[in-house]
Amino acid sequence: EAQVTQNPRYLITVTGKKLTVTCSQNMNHEYMSWYRQDPGLGLRQIYYSMNVEVTDKGDVPEGYKVSRKEKRNFPLILESPSPNQTSLYFCASTYRLNSPLHFGNGTRLTVT
Amino acid sequence: AQTVTQSQPEMSVQEAETVTLSCTYDTSESDYYLFWYKQPPSRQMILVIRQEAYKQQNATENRFSVNFQKAAKSFSLKISDSQLGDAAMYFCAYRSSPQGGSEKLVFGKGTKLTVNP
Percent of chain A past pLDDT 70, that is, above it, reads 98
> Residue B68: what pLDDT?
96
Average pLDDT over residues A1-10: 93
| Whether pLDDT at A103 is above 70 | yes
For the beta carbon of residue A96, count every other beta carbon within 10 angstroms. 10
Please list, in sequence order, all residues whose beta carbon lies within 8 angstroms of the beta carbon of residue B36, skipping any fewer than 6 positions away: B21, B23, B47, B48, B49, B50, B64, B66, B75, B77, B90, B91, B92, B93
Average pLDDT over residues A6-16: 97
Please tell me the distance from the alpha carbon of residue A44 to that of residue A22, in angstroms, as a whole number: 18
> Residue B70: what pLDDT?
94
Average pLDDT over residues A47-61: 92
> Residue A96: what pLDDT?
74
Average pLDDT over residues A51-57: 92
Under DSSP, the state recorded for A100 is P
Which 30-69 residues of chain A touch chain B by CB within 8 A?
A: 31, 33, 35, 40-45, 48, 50, 56, 58-59
> Residue B77: what pLDDT?
98
Residue B85, min C-alpha distance to chain A (Å) = 18
A23 vs B contacts (CB less than 8 Å): none
> Residue A46: what pLDDT?
96
Relative to beta strand B10-14, strand B111-116 is parallel
Q: Is B108 on the interface with A (CB under 8 A)?
A: yes
Please list, in sequence order, all residues whose beta carbon lies within 8 angstroms of the beta carbon of residue B97, skipping any fewer than 6 positions away: A97, A98, B29, B31, B32, B33, B53
Nearest beta carbon to residue A100 from set B35, B91, B103 = B35
Answer with the residue of higher pLDDT: A95 or A18: A18
Please tell me the distance from the alpha carbon of residue B49 to that of residue B62, in angstroms, as a whole number: 10
Radius of gyration of chain B (CA): 14
Please tell me the distance from the alpha carbon of residue A83 to that of residue B72, in angstroms, as a whole number: 40
SS3 B85: helix
Q: Is B45 on the interface with A (CB under 8 A)?
A: yes
> Residue B99: what pLDDT?
63
Averages of pLDDT over each 10 residues, chain B, 117 residues: 92 97 93 94 93 90 96 97 97 81 79 97
Give A97's pLDDT tier (boundaries 50, 70, 90): low
Query: Taking all residues of chain A, what is their mean pLDDT, rounded to a whole number?
Result: 94
